[in-house]
Amino acid sequence: MRKFIVPALAALATFGIAPAAHAEDVEVRVDFSDLDLSQETDVNALKSRVLAEVTETCNDEVPTFSSRLLVRSCIRDAMEQADAQIEAQRSLAMGATDEFG
């Protein structure tokens, strides 16, 4: 079973997930410094960027003899981890908006 390790995000301008592919981890970073995560449209834009990078990475990292089911599973697992990080970052953004808004 493929596991995903999600690095902690502090005040980084990038978003990272690290899907375990075979024996080594692969980290995917997606810049979101141009997005305001207190806005739903920007959250959706970030999710689209992450999905594109995760899809490319999972397609590259899953062996070619593996089934498409493994690729889909890789994408699903990575997006579950990404969604948790996105929500955490959104909460931070919403707090900043409330504080200064």
pLDDT, residue 98, reads 58
Helix (H) or strand (E) holding 28: strand 28-31
Largest CA-CA distance found in the chain, in angstroms, rounded: 53
Domain that holds residue 74: 4-100
Q: Is the pLDDT of residue 16 over 80?
A: no
- Half-sphere exposure at residue 96, Cβ-oriented, CA atoms within 13 angstroms: 11
Count of structural domains within the chain: 1
pLDDT, residue 92, reads 87
Q: Is the pLDDT of residue 89 over 70?
A: yes
Higher local confidence (pLDDT), 63 or 14: 63
Q: In a 3-state reduction of DSSP, which class is residue 25?
A: strand
Q: Is the pLDDT of residue 50 over 70?
A: yes
Can you read off the two tokens belonging to residue 21? Answer: 């592919």
